[in-house]
């Protein structure tokens, strides 16, 4: 057959996710930790990997790592589930709480994956936009969920790509106002030094997403996890692929999680570098730099797409959001090493001076 019948009609409108990860000298586009896992840990990882029985299926639920994460947070394993990156768990919430006839509440500008997963699973999306300063319109969100038709909500704290945390008081108010499942995506919480985890035991409708991809230098490994009430975790287990987290990833993440204290100093450095970069950006005419509690900063400047290109021509890759809804003339810059941040800033300054 030299022809194939068409895929399901919804796919006709989908453009595959493109992280625009182009070759560059300075990678400041994907919010990764700029440093690889420290050498001593990589040594330990190599030893652990060589002991993995590659011919055997992995533990489907990764219980060794699951126990470690649960215990470190005063929980038992039934409050935790691992995923193939946080991304798998974002897909799984749409599979388990979305679907035809069901509705997600989204608070844009937000991580585009939320809406893409809703669309793929036939879930309706209700958007309650953030304000001009990218704060959550708290009353509008509460009013909207109070109508009773929302099945799940995803809120990002700190938000990607805008940077700020949401208040714990608001999260609690939201959890009281609805029985919808409320996911707080805390992919960047290590850089904000705060989490809504203390609310977990009181609210069965709370789910909290964390990942090894950002602070813990494992974007290449694909490991994320959620905290939620055991009844919620059971529903996530029903929709997951049984072996989504492979044995090698489990072994690597166990070493990193056991040694997570080693990363604290780097996290502190990234936080300090973020605050320094914000201050320096604010000294430039025509650059608006938004507050950030994450490992990136969002800037707004005239002609952002041209500036993106000029930065890229000089080897500096940042993320261009200038054509995304609500993010006109915005670029997102990940915090790199002090050297990379200096190169980014000097290059930007030079480009702006030449205009
Ligand atoms: C990076 C990120 C994630 C998770 O990424 P994974 O690499 O799949 O763990 C989740 N949410 C947001 C907002 C992110 O930026």
> Is the pLDDT at 241 greater than 90, yes or no?
yes
Residue 222 CA to ligand 1 centre (angstroms):
10
| CB distance 86 to ligand 1 below 6 Å | yes
CATH number listed for the domain at residues 51-261: 3.40.640.10
Cis peptide before 231 (omega within 30 of 0): no
The closest of 168, 220, 173 to 193, measured between CA atoms, is 168
The class that CATH gives domain 9-37+263-353 is alpha beta
Query: What DSSP string describes 135-152?
Result: ---HHHHHHHHTTS---E
Average pLDDT over residues 234-263: 98
Residue 144 CA to ligand 1 centre (angstroms):
26
- In this prediction, residue 198 carries a pLDDT of 98
Residue 169 CA to ligand 1 centre (angstroms):
24
**Which residues fall within 8 angstroms of residue 48, CB to CB, at 6 or more apart?**
251, 252, 254, 255
| CB distance 70 to ligand 1 below 6 Å | no
Average pLDDT over residues 240-254: 98
How large is the angle between the packed helices 247-258 and 39-50, nearest 10 degrees? 140
Shortest-distance Cα residue to atom 14 of ligand 1: 187
- Do residues 105 and 153 lie in contact, with contact meaning Cβ atoms separated by under 8 Å? yes
Shortest-distance Cα residue to atom 11 of ligand 1: 187
Residue 184 CA to ligand 1 centre (angstroms):
12
Coil vs helix vs strand at 219: coil
pLDDT over 70 percentage in the chain: 100
Q: What are phi and psi of 211, to 5 degrees?
A: -145, 155
Residue 351 CA to ligand 1 centre (angstroms):
31
- In this prediction, residue 303 carries a pLDDT of 97
Residue 6 CA to ligand 1 centre (angstroms):
31
Average pLDDT, the chain: 97
20 falls in which pLDDT band (50, 70, 90)? confident
Task: Give residue-wise pLDDT tens across range 67-111.
Answer: 999 999 999 999 999 999 999 999 999 999 999 999 999 999 999
Shortest-distance Cα residue to atom 4 of ligand 1: 86
| CB distance 216 to ligand 1 below 6 Å | no
Task: Give residue-wise pLDDT tens across range 250-291.
Answer: 999 999 999 999 999 999 999 999 999 999 999 999 999 999
> Is the pLDDT at 18 greater than 90, yes or no?
no
| CB distance 159 to ligand 1 below 6 Å | no
- In this prediction, residue 17 carries a pLDDT of 85
Residue 145 CA to ligand 1 centre (angstroms):
25
- In this prediction, residue 242 carries a pLDDT of 95
Domain spans in the chain, listed from the N-terminal domain onward: 9-37+263-353, 51-261
| Element containing residue 102 per DSSP (H, E) | none
- In this prediction, residue 355 carries a pLDDT of 83
- In this prediction, residue 285 carries a pLDDT of 95
pTM of the model: 0.97
| CB distance 163 to ligand 1 below 6 Å | no
User: For residues 159, 165, 168 and 174, what is the CA-based torsion angle, rounded to 10 degrees?
Assistant: -30
| CB distance 160 to ligand 1 below 6 Å | yes
- b or e along 304-314 (b: 16 or more beta carbons within 10 Å of the residue's beta carbon)? beebbebbbeb
Residues in the chain: 355
Task: Give residue-wise pLDDT tens across range 197-214.
Answer: 999 999 999 999 999 999
| CB distance 185 to ligand 1 below 6 Å | yes
Task: Give residue-wise pLDDT tens across range 290-342.
Answer: 999 999 999 999 999 999 999 999 999 999 999 999 999 999 999 999 999 99
């Amino acid at each position: 057959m030299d022809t194939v019948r068409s895929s399901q009609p919804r796919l006709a409108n989908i453009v595959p996710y493109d992280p625009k990860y182009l070759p560059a000298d300075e990678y400041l586009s994907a919010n990764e930790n700029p440093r690889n896992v420290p050498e001593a840990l990589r040594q330990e990882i190599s030893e652990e990997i060589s002991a993995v029985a590659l011919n055997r299926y992995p533990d489907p639920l990764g219980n060794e790592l699951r126990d470690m994460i649960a215990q470190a947070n005063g929980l038992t394993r039934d409050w935790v589930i691992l995923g193939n990156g946080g991304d798998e768990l974002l897909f799984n919430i749409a599979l388990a709480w979305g679907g035809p006839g069901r509705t997600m509440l989204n608070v844009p500008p937000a991580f585009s994956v939320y809406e893409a997963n809703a669309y793929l699973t036939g879930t309706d999306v209700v958007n309650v936009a953030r304000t001009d300063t990218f704060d959550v319109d708290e009353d509008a969100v509460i009013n909207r969920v109070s109508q009773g038709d929302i099945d799940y909500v995803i809120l990002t704290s700190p938000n990607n790509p805008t940077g700020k945390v949401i208040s714990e008081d608001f999260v609690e108010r939201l959890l009281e106002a609805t029985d919808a499942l409320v996911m707080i995506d805390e992919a960047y919480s290590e850089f904000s030094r705060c989490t809504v985890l203390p609310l977990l035991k009181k609210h069965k409708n709370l789910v909290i997403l964390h990942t090894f991809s950002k602070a813990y230098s494992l974007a290449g490994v694909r490991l994320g996890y959620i905290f939620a009430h055991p009844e919620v975790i059971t529903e996530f287990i029903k929709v997951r692929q049984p072996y989504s987290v492979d044995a090698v990833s489990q072994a690597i993440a166990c070493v990193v999680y056991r040694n997570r204290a080693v990363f604290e100093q780097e996290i502190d450095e990234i936080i300090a570098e973020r605050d320094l970069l914000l201050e320096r950006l604010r000294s430039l005419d025509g650059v608006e730099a938004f507050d950030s509690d994450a490992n990136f900063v969002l800037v707004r400047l005239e002609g952002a797409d041209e500036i993106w290109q000029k930065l890229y021509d000089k080897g500096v890759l940042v993320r261009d959001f200038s054509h995304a809804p609500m993010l006109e003339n915005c670029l997102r810059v990940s915090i790199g090493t002090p050297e990379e941040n200096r190169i980014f800033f000097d290059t930007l300054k030079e480009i702006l001076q030449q205009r």
